[in-house]
Structure 1
Amino acid sequence: MNSPKSPHEPLEPQQHWAHLPENTFAWGIRLLLWVRRHLGAWPLIFCLYPVVLCYWACNARARAASLQYLNRLEEHSHTLGHQASHLDTFKHFIAFAETIMDKLLAISNEPITIQKKGTQGLLDLFEQQRGAIIVTAHIGCLELCRVSAENNSKIRKLNVLVHTAHAQRFNRLLKQLQPNSPVELLQVSEFSTATAVMLAQKIEQGECVAIAGDRVPLGHGLSIPASFLGHEAMFPAGPYILAATLKCPLYAMTCIRAPYLSRKYHYQIQAQCLAEHISLPRKTRQQALMHYAQLYAHWLENQLQSAPLSWFNYFDFWQQGQTNPMPTKTPTA
């Protein structure tokens, strides 16, 4: 293996994240779920960890992306306490494998203790039958947010926007395993007027729409510059435009795995209201979007300080969205 690169160096050019092969197909989930249900946790570990080791050893780009992220996190907040090494990247991949196991537990409805922090505002919205936009990230195990939604009668429905065709396959699997689930994955390959109308109806019905804020969609949508871990990165404008268009609150939410937080709980769902109302004045629209993107970037940085190995973007995050950025200067605060 090559020596670790400086966190300031960009990685070699690579394809957009949406073109990267998806390794957790429905048939694989079914197989692992069968192993977990019928053979137990240890056989599942024996099945999963060798695959992780092979993937880590053979995928130099994902390894380099992990190393770049961990070094930039250490440079920004000294979270690791040392310069990241390839051993740290392996631990990063293992954390992803453990999260896959937790996804299986969530799907199979096995008991998992979940602590909730900052969710009262969302529950109040549900009681008032008001909807909201929830901006998430590829951190932790969001499937447990689905479990929490299913166990809470106040939650009417949670719609998750995704940008890949794999969502249809996984959505069908969820419907088969949990036919009464209030969670639905919505594949959005193109944001059209019809899409906007559909989402507006869901918000009016008191439902929530969740969308990832840390991946720029392929070929459509604006991307906005913001400072992230001390370096400029591009973030999708979609969550903030949606919240402004649909005139609803904007929340950030994630679900982080213990033992980063407390051994009393397996996971902690954390929610924070980023804005009760989003206004995008025509003359200052770009600056307003950048302000909300920066709020999200700061929120994400805080999450990663608590759980540095729980962010699962194994590509050059700081190079995404460079083809359609919004031409404005990155804010510093």
Structure 2
Amino acid sequence: MSRWDGKTRGSLTGYKIFLFFINFLGLNFAYLLLRVVTYYYFLFARKPKKALFDFYKNTLHISHNQANKLVRKNFYIFGQTLVDRAAFLLGKDRQFTHTFENEQYLIDIRDQGKGGILLSAHLGNWETAGNLLKGRITPTINIVMLDAEVENIKKFMELSTGGSRFKVIAIKDDLSHIISIRNALVNNELVAIHSDRYLDGSKYIELDFLGRKAKFPYGPFIIASKFNAPVTFVFAAKNGKYSYHLSSTKPITTKMKPEEITRLYVEELERKVKAYPEQWFNYFDFFN
């Protein structure tokens, strides 16, 4: 089974269709269309379906029938998060609500004036959650990410919606993104990094995750350990048709080794996966 290659899947035609329906027929219709589209993927997307099924059955020890149902639910909710993302970019976000567990932690980080590093994962929908928070906690949220989306889709999203409301810090081979992260922290901005996927050939830390050995990227945790900024683990799970549950952990404010931060992160990620197994959006063999 293939590893993650850093690229976002999806066709330009698919993006155009959903942007049209969200714009002119609303979210309810887009969600309805999603049931058809995601059922197609459930039937024919063999590799991601197999990876998810293995995760549910052999990692979370869910029964065969329940794991199969959970795979289908996962595809549908993932589709919803993409639709929600587009809805925010199109300015159709008034019907969304959220609750924030430990919001004060982010306020405390802001008030310290050192910026903050937010470590998250491909679980739930942190981008939409960030849109809910933008302007409430801080005017600027930076996302560190691989700039590997299909170019024509990226251009279409920018032309149709104005692009992301975040500042994107693209990971570069020349490590210039490290300077961008430093500058953001100096300006007391938040820097969010997904920390649950690594690319073949890159450095990693191997730890027990839900009872199985898994590899986590070294980069986010070395960044978290080197900069003089508080570190917290943040997650945002969809907990209703138009609502999200956001959470953050008590900030790490003392110097810690990357391995120590990774262990704490993995413990929190385990709790979130158990709470929201249908929102685990890693469609490859995570333990390979």
Q: Do both proteins adopt the same fold according to a TM-score greater than 0.5, normalized to the shorter chain?
A: yes
The alignment yields a C-alpha RMSD, in angstroms, of 2.7
Residue 285 of structure 2 corresponds to: 316
Instruction: Show the counterpart of 2:214.
Output: 233
Map of 1:90 onto structure 2: 72
Mapped to 2, the partners of 1:171 and 1:141 lie a distance apart of 22
| Counterpart in the other structure of 1:155 | 138
CA separation of 1:157 and 1:254: change in aligned 2, threshold 3 A: same
* Per-residue deviation, residues 280-302 of structure 1 (Å, max 9, x unmatched): 3xxxxxxxx33321211110111
**Deviations along 1:167-214, whole A, 9 cap, x unmatched?**
876488358635793x1122214262x332221111111112111111
Residues of 1 paired with 2:25 and 2:106: CA distance? 38
Q: Which residue of 2 aligns with 1:284?
A: none
Cross-structure match for 1:68 = 54
Identity score, percent: 21
> Which residue identity lines up with residue 10 of structure 2 in the other structure?
N
1:131 alignment counterpart: 115
- 1:18–1:164: 8 Å Cα contact kept in structure 2? no
- Whether the aligned pair in 2 keeps the contact of 1:243 and 1:278 (CA below 8 Å) is no
Q: Do structure 1's residue 17 and structure 2's residue 1 form an aligned pair?
A: no
Q: String of CA shifts for 1:22-60, please: whole Å, max 9, x gaps.
A: 1165x6434312211211234323432222122221121
Kept in 2, the 8 Å contact 1:48–1:97? The answer is yes
Counterpart of 1:142 in structure 2 is 126
How high is the TM-score relative to the length of structure 2? 0.87
Structure 1 unaligned residues grouped into runs of 5+: 1-12, 281-288, 320-333
SS at match of 1:40: helix
**Aligned to 1:117, which of 85, 89, 101?**
101
Alpha-carbon spacing, 1:234–1:87, altered in 2? closer, same or farther (3 Å): same
Counterparts of 1:252 and 1:303 in 2: how far apart (Å)? Answer: 11
Q: Which amino acid aligns with 1:269?
A: L
Counterpart of 1:295 in structure 2 is 264
Larger radius of gyration: 1
Using CA pairs under 8 Å that are at least 6 residues apart, name the structure with larger relative contact order, 1 or 2. 2
- The total of aligned residue pairs comes to 285
Q: 2:205 and 2:66 mapped to 1: Cα distance?
A: 28
1:81-134 deviation per Cα after TM superposition (whole angstroms, max 9, x unaligned): 776442331122122122222223332332211101112121122233321111
**Residue 119 of structure 1 contacts residue 270 of structure 1 at CA under 8 Å; is this kept in 2?**
yes
- 1:201-244 Cα offsets, whole Å, 9 max, x none, are 11111112111111013433x20011111101000121221122
Q: Deviations over 1:262-291 (max 9, x none)?
A: x9x7111111135213333xxxxxxxx333
CA contact (8 A) 1:249 1:273 kept: no
Q: Which residue of 1 aligns with 2:169?
A: 186
